[in-house]
Structure 1
Amino acid sequence: METLNTVRPLAENDDRASFDCGRASLNGWFQRNAWRNQMTGVSRTYVLPDPTQPQQIRGYVTLAAGEIRREFLPKSQQRNMPDPMPIVLLGQLAVDVAHQGSGVSKVLLAATFTFAVHVSKTIGSFALVTHPLDDNARAFYQRWGFSTLEPDPQQAMYIRIRDLEASGVQ
């Protein structure tokens, strides 16, 4: 059974070429950009490896620093806040088709919540933000407590760090 402890940073020798989540854009990004971005510090990719073949990747999530405009938040959350607001950006989350429906996304998202809270305690961050690719992804994030930033033209979704902490994420 995979746990948060099995999520680890992407390694150079991980088999990115055979990863297939069913979406060409996510596969291509993982194969072409994940390692380069990791090495340049642009983003960090975390993977859930197969326990018996550690270079085989069951799923990945990519995080980066980011910002959102204060005006995209509900009025009740804008008062006395900086503009722009610092956030952790969840850039991609993908699960190999062979492992979809097996809880891999749950483990990756739980790890992401933990990472986001840790980052917030280290450098400050208001929320974890993502840009869902479609309505299925939007529904997935909504089930996990994300809300849509309605005024945002990209319709990003967010969950506040304080709400993650209140739910017990450390």
Structure 2
Amino acid sequence: MSGIVTYIDIPVAVIGLLAVHVNHRDNKLGQILLIDALRRMIGISAVVGNHTVILGPINESAKNFYSKFGFI
């Protein structure tokens, strides 16, 4: 084995898309949605067995948003 870990080897939870309409930005809705999603993932982690959360930001703005919460 090459030492490369794939997603198949580690149970993960994936946030596919988390978005707030442009008319409702800057009022903490994105933060509220992210926290709610993470709380739900924690709640089911004992059943599902996920060890991490993966997301793919759609653009630089989304990348900057997620980085504020410690995502890399």
Q: Normalising by structure 1, what TM-score? A: 0.38
Q: Which residue of 2 aligns with 1:70?
A: 5
Displacement over 6 Å in runs of 4+: none
Higher strand proportion: 1
Equivalenced residues, count: 69
Higher helix proportion: 2
Q: Which runs of 5+ in 2 are unaligned?
A: none
- Could you tell me the percent identity over the aligned residues? 25
User: Of residues 27, 36, 51 in structure 2, which corresponds to 1:111?
Assistant: 36
State the shift of 1:96 in Å.
1.5
Root-mean-square deviation (CA), in Å?
1.8
How has the CA–CA distance of structure 1 residues 71 and 89 changed in structure 2, closer, same or farther, with 3 Å as cutoff?
closer
User: Of residues 57, 60, 67 in structure 2, which corresponds to 1:135?
Assistant: 60
Q: Normalising by structure 2, what TM-score? A: 0.82
Q: Which residue of 1 aligns with 2:13?
A: 88
Q: Which runs of 5+ in 1 are unaligned?
A: 1-68, 73-82, 148-170
Flag the structure with more relative contact order, 1 or 2, with Cα contacts below 8 A and sequence separation at least 6. Answer: 2
State the shift of 1:116 in Å.
1.2
Within a 5 Å distance, the mapping from 1:1-170 to structure 2 comes to: 70=5, 83-147=8-72
Q: Distance in 2 between matches of 1:98 and 1:143?
A: 21
Q: Which has the larger radius of gyration?
A: 1
